[in-house]
Chains A and B, each alone.
Chain A
């Protein structure tokens, strides 16, 4: 397998020889003096330069003497043959000292400097101290350049700015957000956001990269929740991983032990994220400190039976009767504790756990394996996911165990298994640098995989052509060479059309097809029927664009496809993914650097939870639950008999409850009430359960239906491993103890297991990991000790010495015969097409600032202040036609329900389409969605249903922050 993603090195590297401070050096041509000096151990002071960015040479702190008439800036001047460089002559030092003095003259006094008074690492002050320069007060000072505090978590102090351009390069070159520039001239020159707007009103996405770039107090973090920002040396640094998305950025939390809170977070270098973070990772960690955390086990009181929803919103009163709307509505729209808590009483752990074991055990005794099911979560660690599925499978002899992967990439995984024999990505997101062409499709990557998208944008600046295929014109479209805005639900037709053209142009890779694939003829026959003109008719993309894409893709030396839930969350999700597999296979674009298939994983541990067996049809490592050999293997490993029948999936479990099948459920960190399609059906099902135990960190909507609620630990309170979208297994480290009586999840699962008679005695997550690895061939060789601080990619033949395998399938696929199986697909329309009564297509998805059902992000100060309210995104012309005004209320109705929310006029939507993020319980998008599922992946069609939308008359918009109405 290929180990590296570097192009073969240029063997004829030219070098130059020079002396620096009398030392003779030979360096590759193009090396700057500053870099050469650094490598020789000579530090030249710098202000505008930082190795993370291309040099610009604007501050002149790094000047050196090369014997010429002037001092060149060493950070940008390349070494020349025979050069004699002196880095620290008295004249050079005098030049630096004067420069420092002049820069310092404009700076705020030390005791007020926003950086010196927080992290105390103002680089200009450091230089000044080195030159023994105090602030000079008698120099003329200008009128000042002002401050900008409009961003909730980033403070701008223009007077501290030395115009080094580091933030500009961080924003443009690293994150690709293109927000910062300069404005004005002379003394009044300042950094400017967009059109010189206040930062908080600009297109800034609060990734904080500019803050981490700034050498002075110009850009600093504001304290969150009153935990002051202090010097790193006074704080405890915990190296861990971001808890949000599948990108899995490595980060460090700086923890204030005295105050028991996180002071700030910083990106950490790891081959994937390379120190970058997005707003969620950098600023969204305070949810764990919310006063709303559950801290004691809760048991439903007798008077609150028969069971049913407890809060007005979950009962749906609010939505049904206009008059009552707003009752119990809380700022941030979270579950109203005061409405729900009176229905529960606090209990001891023993009482609660005994009750759980007795009731679930009882139901199992009466109804057998069919009576029990468990939902785990892709937020669980690998160890927790493993233990949870082991509990359900061994204690209750059932494979009815699933998690939210069902709702995101189940169809992709189904297609990948069938096609290439493995559900994991075949290459990393960073491998895009080696691609000539990348197709990004059905993915709003800038919002949902922000740091991965920064690498996409960077690759494009370095020449990778980006083709973006999506019904919404997301920010990725701004960075695409070709933006292909297809009608929702027409993906199969588009790719069939492209493949038709690739074949017609003779751009297929014959050798690859012959030696590495099967079933090409049938595929070719199917796509024969999709000439670009027909595909154009179905998709709304013009035929020439389809031809252009086909040519670009067919001619690329290396092409890679990244996709998101716009592909998978359809009733044709599996077919959509099959097309992508075929696209790569017919052009030989798998198994080499810069090629491959990458379904961008949503949750931080959706890959790991699936790997660990939180899936009804698979034991750990995708060993089929229906397969005799696999069953015997696990029966032996776990010392008990297992059920040979595959289990039910999330959506099937809900149905089974309504049919009287499943009667008892254990939910670990899952909130199906908001995340599953067709909430009304879920509400009915949950009320009907004989026994439900919910283990979570907050009161969720689902917990309103519980008999027992167990207070769990947040990500920040436990150790464990997490596997990101790249197959990188990383260690998450404990930052705090759980609050009150809350306990870590793996312990709770173990307690229940013991009470159900299982002989479990794990002492740490590490012990669990050690049990998993021998059962999971993909994880072979990995151990807590060799994961290191950067984690390791799997498969990994030698984790002590290598980062792991970037590119899979270089000579065979994971299928039994080693070949890729091409599966043709015919285009089928969405299940619920727009009609006269419901003329709009509803698309659902996420916002950059929020996460799933919002239980974490809506309790984060930064994230909730940036995106406080639910909005329906509507094209300006549709809005005009319907009389909808930006910021005013509208009612959106589908055949299943209706919600009321604010209108956002957005040129990113296509006409006839409406987009609603699903994070907001007060306007839960999944009241509207349809629970039709993909026949193979069993994934619901979140991306397509028919709705109508109309202004809500006589009603003013809710205040921002949702605090009143």
Chain B
């Protein structure tokens, strides 16, 4: 046997109930793997060996298969993350707009490297890929909530506040930031009823829409599209 741990019985029983609910949402049980990985991440703050074993058991997959998925997606952590996981976007646009600088200064300020946790366990730092919020670049996320248009100073202030336990308010979405574990549970598909809090889109994101409205532009009619190029064969390997 491998070194797999297991959850204590009562935890296992509680999670199994949640898992049942998640699995029931899909026609094939294995489709539930991503939310289940979030579920076990919500329990321990990361995907532990016990978590992998639990998912494998629930979905009748091998542990190796679950490991493959859990290590493929960076949103799953194989080591405990901080209570607040801070992701600095360093993808092209954010990088140019100051993301790289923010990331460097946070590393120094917190004394941690990429994907590491502060000693007090409060904050972990990671450079993340594009969050589809380039129009607010540079962007920092805390437990997947947006903090737009950051500077090294504002970002340092943000992490200091997080470490001191002060309330911080995301630029968009809910009024406050939940913990890492709570965020994972949310991603597992257990809503906290805050989805409608705060503005979802604003500022530069809406400029195009306003412009289109003003000029009377509309999207093409799907039933009446110009002829498309010949359909792909489906299997890659272009000539």
Q: Would A192 and B71 be within 8 Å (CB), given that A181-B64, A203-B2 are in contact?
A: yes
Q: Which residues of B contact A679 (CB under 8 A)?
A: none
Instruction: Establish whether residues B3 and A201, one from each chain, have CB atoms under 8 Å apart when the complex forms.
Output: yes
Instruction: Establish whether residues A193 and B232, one from each chain, have CB atoms under 8 Å apart when the complex forms.
Output: no
Name, among B67, B72, B73, B234, the residue most crowded by chain A CB atoms within 10 Å (CB to CB): B67
B202 CB within 8 Å of chain A: no
Q: Which residues of B contact A60 (CB under 8 A)?
A: 236-237
Q: Which residues of B contact A168 (CB under 8 A)?
A: 64
A935 to chain B, nearest CB (A): 39
Q: CB-nearest residue of chain A relative to B1?
A: A203
Instruction: Establish whether residues A195 and B233, one from each chain, have CB atoms under 8 Å apart when the complex forms.
Output: no
A166 to chain B, nearest CB (A): 15
Instruction: Establish whether residues B2 and A183, one from each chain, have CB atoms under 8 Å apart when the complex forms.
Output: no
Q: CB-nearest residue of chain B relative to A186?
A: B72
Name, among A95, A183, A195, the residue most crowded by chain B CB atoms within 10 Å (CB to CB): A195
Q: Which residues of A contact B2 (CB under 8 A)?
A: 194-195, 197, 201-203
A21 to chain B, nearest CB (A): 18
Instruction: Establish whether residues A183 and B71, one from each chain, have CB atoms under 8 Å apart when the complex forms.
Output: yes
Q: Which residues of B contact A180 (CB under 8 A)?
A: 64
Report the tally of A-B residue pairs with Cβ distances under 8 A: 85
Q: Would A195 and B52 be within 8 Å (CB), given that A70-B239, A72-B235 are in contact?
A: yes
- 1/0 contact trace for B73-117 toward A, CB 8 Å? 100001000000000000000000000000000000000000000
- 1/0 contact trace for B223-236 toward A, CB 8 Å? 00000001011111
Instruction: Establish whether residues A194 and B237, one from each chain, have CB atoms under 8 Å apart when the complex forms.
Output: no
A842 to B78, CA, bound (A): 40
Q: Which residues of A contact B78 (CB under 8 A)?
A: 196
B219 CB within 8 Å of chain A: no
B4 CB within 8 Å of chain A: yes
- 1/0 contact trace for B40-81 toward A, CB 8 Å? 000000000100100000000011110110011100001000
Instruction: Establish whether residues B239 and A91, one from each chain, have CB atoms under 8 Å apart when the complex forms.
Output: yes
Q: When the two chains form the complex, which single residue of A63, A182, A195 contacts B4, counting CB atoms closer than 8 Å?
A: A195
Instruction: Establish whether residues B62 and A178, one from each chain, have CB atoms under 8 Å apart when the complex forms.
Output: yes
Q: Which residues of B contact A181 (CB under 8 A)?
A: 62-65, 67-68
Instruction: Establish whether residues B3 and A197, one from each chain, have CB atoms under 8 Å apart when the complex forms.
Output: yes
Instruction: Establish whether residues B67 and A194, one from each chain, have CB atoms under 8 Å apart when the complex forms.
Output: yes
A633 to chain B, nearest CB (A): 53
B196 CB within 8 Å of chain A: no
A144 to B121, CA, bound (A): 31
Q: Give the bracket for the number of chain A residues in contact with chain B.
A: 20 to 34
- 1/0 contact trace for A188-208 toward B, CB 8 Å? 000011111100011100000
A639 CB within 8 Å of chain B: no
Q: When the two chains form the complex, which single residue of A71, A182, A184, A196 contacts B237, counting CB atoms closer than 8 Å?
A: A71
Q: Which residues of A contact B239 (CB under 8 A)?
A: 69-71, 91
Interface residues of B in 2-16 (CB under 8 A from A): 2-4
Q: CB-nearest residue of chain B relative to A89?
A: B239
A313 to chain B, nearest CB (A): 30
- 1/0 contact trace for A51-70 toward B, CB 8 Å? 00000010010010000111
Q: Which residues of A contact B233 (CB under 8 A)?
A: 68-70, 72
Q: Which residues of B contact A72 (CB under 8 A)?
A: 233, 235, 237
- 1/0 contact trace for A144-168 toward B, CB 8 Å? 0000000000000000000000001
Q: Which residues of A contact B68 (CB under 8 A)?
A: 181-183, 192
Q: Would A70 and B72 be within 8 Å (CB), given that A178-B62, A194-B67, A201-B2 are in contact?
A: no
Residue positions of B touching A, CB distance < 8 A: 1-4, 49, 52, 62-65, 67-68, 71-73, 78, 230, 232-239
**21 pairs, A vs B, C-beta closer than 8 Å:** A63-B237, A68-B233, A69-B239, A71-B238, A72-B237, A168-B64, A172-B64, A178-B63, A181-B63, A183-B67, A183-B71, A184-B72, A185-B72, A192-B67, A192-B71, A193-B64, A194-B2, A194-B64, A195-B2, A195-B3, A197-B2
Given contacts A71-B237, A195-B4, A201-B2, 14 further A-B contacts (CB under 8 A): A70-B232, A70-B234, A77-B235, A181-B63, A181-B67, A182-B71, A182-B72, A183-B72, A184-B71, A194-B63, A195-B52, A195-B67, A196-B67, A196-B71
